[in-house]
Amino acid sequence: GAVVSQHPSWVICKSGTSVKIECRSLDFQATTMFWYRQFPKQSLMLMATSNEGSKATYEQGVEKDKFLINHASLTLSTLTVTSAHPEDSSFYICSLNIASETQYFGPGTRLLVL
């Protein structure tokens, strides 16, 4: 399966600051990556689909101006949480699929906004 990395693995920031999370595909080129959010004791919720070279597709209820996604290359997608607030504290996970209709997940990034 594909190897997916995320950086950082955890981050603590002050309210009002912006945080960038990177998702890298280490051994495959991915035209599509996905970003999920997982609140404590809850399931993964798809936030957006990241498309290489074009705009991301956001799920209903997800603010595109708050969660900026950039997919500038076939191996890197970034999620920037702008003006983060405590309610944005969560576990952010990226994934990608490579022609097999199976998604491979990154290890996740835990964000804590104080």
Q: List residues binding other proteins (CB under 8 A).
A: 1, 4, 32, 34, 42-46, 49, 93, 95, 97, 101-108
Instruction: List the one residue out of 73, 22, 26, 67 whose CA is nearest residue 47.
Output: 67
Q: Which is nearer to other proteins, 15 or 29 (CB)?
A: 29
The minimum distance between CB 59 and other proteins, in angstroms, equals: 8
The minimum distance between CB 104 and other proteins, in angstroms, equals: 8
Q: Strand 67-73 to strand 76-81: parallel, antiparallel, or no bridges (unpaired)? A: antiparallel
Q: Which is nearer to other proteins, 15 or 102 (CB)?
A: 102
The minimum distance between CB 7 and other proteins, in angstroms, equals: 14
Q: Which is nearer to other proteins, 81 or 93 (CB)?
A: 93
CA distance 19 to 31: 23
SS3 call for 33: strand
The minimum distance between CB 111 and other proteins, in angstroms, equals: 16
Q: Which is nearer to other proteins, 5 or 83 (CB)?
A: 5
Q: Within 13 Å and on the Cβ side, how many CA atoms surround 25?
A: 25
CA distance 92 to 89: 9
